Chain A
């Protein structure tokens, strides 16, 4: 594919080699031989990946390959699911997320954007302020307004909503709702923002707006994005991990590297088949 991944060219890196990306100083998230199970079903097998700080890493692959499972393991959204468990290490800044006892402390550092925009049925202001007001954050009252405004500005939403902050978040369009959710997530200044197919429910124009936003906020945050849209992965991500399933439907990571390398010169046959549209 001749799609040029965003940002890859100007960093002058060797294709397929993460070590040479000088700007990405260190790995923010690192999985080592990570396995994941739903009851007896093994959903992920032996995932080892180092995700760079202040970079967009895209997880692509066919449906059911475990990319969303991996994403949700990072902020332990699976804790809600009965029978879900993991093996191996999943490190956030060097400490294993699975040994943390305080989930809220983890989720302060790792925000999440979902497939369908899910603003709460409350005002736009209260939506963005929600994360600031939770027990785990304890933002001083006087700061909340400024931080809400800043988050909405950072999410390119301020000009559209500044005169209706007290209208319901549900009255916004789908694209605006998703940007509201992004504002809500970055208002609490996490280190990592996980995005689970954030544009799946959006039209092309709204999708481009979200992609612009991703390119902007990645300067401050580490972004991991699951997407079914390979053009999107090529457009916004610096690194791409390709997941697929084996015969027993267990997900595994086939290839991981610079997005440009994955898309122009895949090393694995399965990656090539997938990105050239031969399956998946």
Chain B
């Protein structure tokens, strides 16, 4: 009978007729229904991602050309070379502050901090800071870095502001990664006469590395996309004599701020502002995509190395013949 078509249910139906019982039919329906819902939700998510990427690329890719990517824009001819440079430089400077401080704090919280009021206070502050709107950080950065420390609108002030903004996220994700390292590794290492710091350096951090990389990628994505606090601290244009400059005290304009400027503020009479904005968005998307792919590759390499398979050893200082 038809019952044989649903072998995944242990209830084989009515013992006399072989037909599915009422409760079995209900269970089958509920199962299929909920599975369908989940499937639809997942499909929707994939669809949204696909639509966003497609829309941005369709609008932006036709604008891309070597000239657009590598030269400063002129009034007639859009170009975002300096903005790309500024974005990457800002990313670099911000990570330079966020990664060491964030990793250090997460090591402290994950490995050293005993559960007490001080630790709780740090955790509570981290959680709270993570939910403060970024524009508030912008105002804070403007007060502290621009006014008090007299940096003026500059890439440095912007990067420091972004660093403060992203520290809580970095610390939280990195601490999770460190706590995810099995305690048996720590005990194994300590039992072999390693000190606590050796244990952290040689076992905990390498094992947590994929998670730490994830924390850095999340942070990098947010740094690239942040706009509001930069408008208040970094400025909204790049001086022609500071194009591709390494000077951290020059004013700067990242890609995201650039989009905001040409779309919202507007450059009166600039004929191809729309094109420039579309192109910039596509470039930002591609940068984020490339970073994600690179880190995913690095991560899978790390995972392979950590959990099995053949390990081609890079840098043969510890090589042995077997």
Tell me the chain A residues, 70-125 only, with Cβ under 8 Å from chain B: 75, 77, 80, 82, 103-105, 107-108, 111-112, 114, 116, 118-123, 125
Stretch binding the partner chain, chosen from B14-22, B128-136, B216-224, B309-317: B309-317
Stretch binding the partner chain, chosen from B46-54, B188-196, B258-266: B188-196
Residue interface mask A144-186, B partner, CB < 8 A = 1: 0100100000000000001111111011000000000100110
Q: Does B187 reach chain A (CB closer than 8 Å)? A: yes
A216 CA / B198 CA spacing, docked (Å): 31
Stretch binding the partner chain, chosen from B3-11, B89-97, B168-176, B300-308: B300-308
Known: A77-B187, A163-B322. A171 touches B307 (CB 8 A): yes
Stretch binding the partner chain, chosen from A51-59, A129-137, A221-229: A129-137
Q: Does B182 reach chain A (CB closer than 8 Å)? A: yes
Q: Does A191 reach chain B (CB closer than 8 Å)? A: no
Q: Does B184 reach chain A (CB closer than 8 Å)? A: yes
Q: Are A114 and B193 in contact (CB under 8 A)?
A: no
Q: Which residues of A contact B320 (CB under 8 A)?
A: 125, 145, 148, 165
Known: A165-B320, A168-B309. A137 touches B185 (CB 8 A): no
Q: Does B272 reach chain A (CB closer than 8 Å)? A: no
Q: Which residues of B contact A184 (CB under 8 A)?
A: 188, 192
Q: Are A107 and B193 in contact (CB under 8 A)?
A: yes
Residue in B185, B187, B203, B313 whose CB lies within 8 Å of A166: B313
Q: Are B322 and A162 in contact (CB under 8 A)?
A: yes
Q: Are A167 and B311 in contact (CB under 8 A)?
A: yes
Q: Are B195 and A135 in contact (CB under 8 A)?
A: yes
Tell me the chain B residues, 277-322 only, with Cβ under 8 Å from chain A: 305-311, 313, 318, 320, 322
List 14 A-B pairs, Cβ < 8 Å: A75-B191, A80-B187, A80-B190, A82-B114, A107-B191, A111-B191, A118-B184, A118-B188, A121-B206, A134-B193, A166-B311, A168-B305, A168-B311, A185-B192
Minimum CB–CB distance from B144 to chain A (whole Å) comes to 38
Known: A118-B182, A118-B188, A130-B202. A137 touches B193 (CB 8 A): yes
Known: A77-B190, A137-B193, A163-B322. A121 touches B207 (CB 8 A): yes
Q: Which residues of B contact A119 (CB under 8 A)?
A: 188
Q: Does A262 reach chain B (CB closer than 8 Å)? A: no
Q: Are B310 and A167 in contact (CB under 8 A)?
A: yes
A55 CA / B192 CA spacing, docked (Å): 22
A174 CA / B305 CA spacing, docked (Å): 19
Q: Which residues of A contact B203 (CB under 8 A)?
A: 120
Minimum CB–CB distance from A120 to chain B (whole Å) comes to 6
A169 CA / B186 CA spacing, docked (Å): 16
Minimum CB–CB distance from A217 to chain B (whole Å) comes to 16
Q: Are A121 and B189 in contact (CB under 8 A)?
A: no
Q: Considering residues A103, A104, A162, A184, which has the most beta carbons from chain B within 10 angstroms of its beta carbon?
A: A104
Minimum CB–CB distance from B59 to chain A (whole Å) comes to 45
Q: Are B311 and A131 in contact (CB under 8 A)?
A: no
Q: Are A130 and B311 in contact (CB under 8 A)?
A: no
Q: Are B194 and A104 in contact (CB under 8 A)?
A: yes
Q: Are A122 and B307 in contact (CB under 8 A)?
A: no
Q: Considering residues B188, B306, B307, which has the most beta carbons from chain A within 10 angstroms of its beta carbon?
A: B188
Q: Are A111 and B192 in contact (CB under 8 A)?
A: yes
Q: Which residues of B contact A108 (CB under 8 A)?
A: 193
Q: Considering residues A105, A114, A121, which has the most beta carbons from chain B within 10 angstroms of its beta carbon?
A: A121
Q: Are B308 and A171 in contact (CB under 8 A)?
A: yes
Q: Which residues of A contact B308 (CB under 8 A)?
A: 167-168, 170-171
Q: Are B306 and A112 in contact (CB under 8 A)?
A: no
Q: Are A122 and B318 in contact (CB under 8 A)?
A: no
Minimum CB–CB distance from B322 to chain A (whole Å) comes to 5
Q: Which residues of A contact B206 (CB under 8 A)?
A: 121-122
A135 CA / B198 CA spacing, docked (Å): 8
A136 CA / B195 CA spacing, docked (Å): 8
16 more A-B residue pairs beyond the given contacts A77-B191, A116-B184, A120-B185, with a C-beta to C-beta distance below 8 A? A75-B191, A77-B187, A82-B114, A105-B193, A107-B190, A112-B191, A118-B188, A119-B188, A120-B188, A130-B194, A134-B193, A145-B320, A168-B307, A171-B307, A171-B308, A184-B192
Q: Which residues of A contact B313 (CB under 8 A)?
A: 166
Minimum CB–CB distance from A169 to chain B (whole Å) comes to 9
Q: Which residues of B contact A105 (CB under 8 A)?
A: 193
A168 CA / B188 CA spacing, docked (Å): 16
Q: Which residues of A contact B198 (CB under 8 A)?
A: 134-135
A126 CA / B318 CA spacing, docked (Å): 9
Q: Does A241 reach chain B (CB closer than 8 Å)? A: no
Q: Are B310 and A107 in contact (CB under 8 A)?
A: no
The 10 closest A-B pairs by CB, nearest first: A171-B308, A121-B306, A131-B192, A118-B184, A112-B191, A107-B193, A136-B193, A134-B194, A108-B193, A104-B193
Q: Which residues of B contact A77 (CB under 8 A)?
A: 187, 190-191
Residue in B114, B187, B207, B306 whose CB lies within 8 Å of A114: B187
Q: Are A136 and B194 in contact (CB under 8 A)?
A: yes
Minimum CB–CB distance from A201 to chain B (whole Å) comes to 11
A35 CA / B190 CA spacing, docked (Å): 23
Q: Does A188 reach chain B (CB closer than 8 Å)? A: yes
With both beta carbons as reference points, the residue of chain B lying nearest to A107 in the complex is identified as B193
